[in-house]
Structure 1
């Protein structure tokens, strides 16, 4: 554990230790339904949920990912939790919790935990399955549907070579075989020049201009591009499939959460007396409490192609 994170973890553990004074965690029962006791430190139970939370904080697992109690990451996080509790308890024994500077840090840690818990509660309320599905369908209707092309290419060094290849194709030559034999593009020549499915905006302008009026099965070119002279074969064109609900869900949840939290912060600031005692950021800067806007439409624009 890094020193900075160790200090922060000990402060947080001490705050929670002080909050638990006068009660026994063992008697309180599991903090979550189905929780499992995995250790005891000074008579205080360490629960599996405590360890999972630490594992997420350490970056050992992603939020919501499973973590088996028999796994190596679980035991690594468990060691961290035990160490934090031991250090926090020793700090309290030495009376460090009475130091004014420590008291301020403990108060800040408590505020951070309370704020995080409020956000978590708001996420569960605002980003429920019904809200996510509703916003997904709403944005799906508004999303601009693009078109996908499936094409093959043969890239050549000169127009004369490209014209010769085009004549061979017109005479019945195999596009795939000619791509392997003649194309200078090493990224596609070995798979018959296959570019897969793509949208016009991700391709160079010359490709987009050549493909847009073409029909499936048509051979196009040659035309000049940055890589050389190009002959294309348009295999297929189809409406672009939007990203699925499950793929869009994380960004939609972020949007719903941000929107809810932003509204709450604006309301709380309006109801409270907040007065800054320093000047504004030199050279401008964003307004207090502002953040980059997240839009669900941006999630739907992350298209999935085969």
Structure 2
């Protein structure tokens, strides 16, 4: 069923491209530098770029990923490209592309392809290494890093047990050792209650409030009073604290790319909408339909 759906969409795209393709004597010329023909259908070549583009369209590979002609995936996608060309040509032979409803679908597909090409062209010019690095520098300049805390947890079933383990730690027992022996939290018990490096804003509110109070008092090494939670009674300690490290360029790159892409497309659409005359024809903004004429006196009779 998935293959049928893919082929249906691909056939529509093939018909659309065929409809807008200018027929000339360049059918055998590689469409891209270094491209090579990997098959022919009724004398018309299929290029490696055709197969790669289809694989990208199906989400089988990413844009820019390699697809070796010797691979099984390449052979599979090539078969699908051959199938879609055969189906598209048979559809044309049967004059299915002359149907008005089909023409509308072809035009919609053509517009979608052209819109994608425009977006790709705009992004290529806007999402550059220089733009990414500049935005990262600006983020670092404006960034107000918070503090990270190295926190350990002991979770007990009752308040009395929590007071008891807190007393053991106050008497000199190692917090990690007590957590490994007494904590009922399955996620952290084996690691001595280690919650790792974290920030107050991502911790449950009762934890954050207790640790804030501890930091205002003795700071690192402080042990909080028992905290009631949904899972039991918690005792926390702060082992260490440090300034949160800002994200590196490579860590921030995916988010920056998404932002630059969105922002550039938004600006483009804003410009295009500003130049276009757009008249809504649905909802409250739609013009009222003309009222039906009253029947003439002789018809009413």
With the shorter chain as reference, the TM-score category is 0.7 to 0.9
Structure 2 partner of 1:104: 104
CA drift at 1:151: 1.2
CA distance in 2, matches of 1:74, 1:225: 58
Structure 1 partner of 2:12: 11
CA distance in 2, matches of 1:125, 1:248: 20
Gaps of 5+ in 2: 287-301
CA drift at 1:217: 4.5
Return the TM-score normalized by structure 2: 0.83
CA distance in 1, matches of 2:209, 2:84: 62
The match for 1:250 among 250, 254, 271 is 254
Secondary structure at the residue paired with 1:28? coil
Structure 1 partner of 2:277: 273
CA distance in 2, matches of 1:140, 1:231: 36
Instruction: Describe the superposition over 1:237-296 as per-residue Cα deviations: whole angstroms up to 9, x where unpaired.
Output: 1122233322322332222222222222222222222222222499xxxxxxxxxxxxxx
**Where does 1:117-196 land on structure 2 (aligned, <5 Å)?**
117-196=117-196
**Where does 1:197-212 land on structure 2 (aligned, <5 Å)?**
197-212=197-212
Structure 2 partner of 1:221: 224
Gaps of 5+ in 1: 283-306
Instruction: Describe the superposition over 1:41-70 as per-residue Cα deviations: whole angstroms up to 9, x where unpaired.
Output: 222222222222222222222333333333
CA drift at 1:163: 2.6
- Give the greater-gyration-radius structure (CA): 2
CA distance in 2, matches of 1:26, 1:93: 20
CA distance in 2, matches of 1:65, 1:40: 24
CA drift at 1:2: 4.7
CA drift at 1:21: 5.3
CA drift at 1:24: 5.4
Name the count of aligned residue pairs. Answer: 281
Contact 2:36 2:48 in 1 (8 A): yes
Contact 2:156 2:184 in 1 (8 A): yes
The match for 2:266 among 250, 259, 262 is 262
CA distance in 1, matches of 2:25, 2:211: 72
Q: Displaced runs of 4+ in structure 1, greater than 4 A?
A: none
Contact 2:156 2:182 in 1 (8 A): yes
Structure 1 residue 28 corresponds to structure 2 residue 25: no
Instruction: Describe the superposition over 1:195-228 as per-residue Cα deviations: whole angstroms up to 9, x where unpaired.
Output: 1111111111221122234366504123223033
Instruction: Describe the superposition over 1:95-147 as per-residue Cα deviations: whole angstroms up to 9, x where unpaired.
Output: 22233332222222222111111110000001111111111211222233122
- Structure 1 window deviating more from structure 2 (97-106 vs 182-191): it is 97-106
Contact 2:163 2:226 in 1 (8 A): no
CA distance in 2, matches of 1:148, 1:42: 66
CA distance in 2, matches of 1:13, 1:79: 15
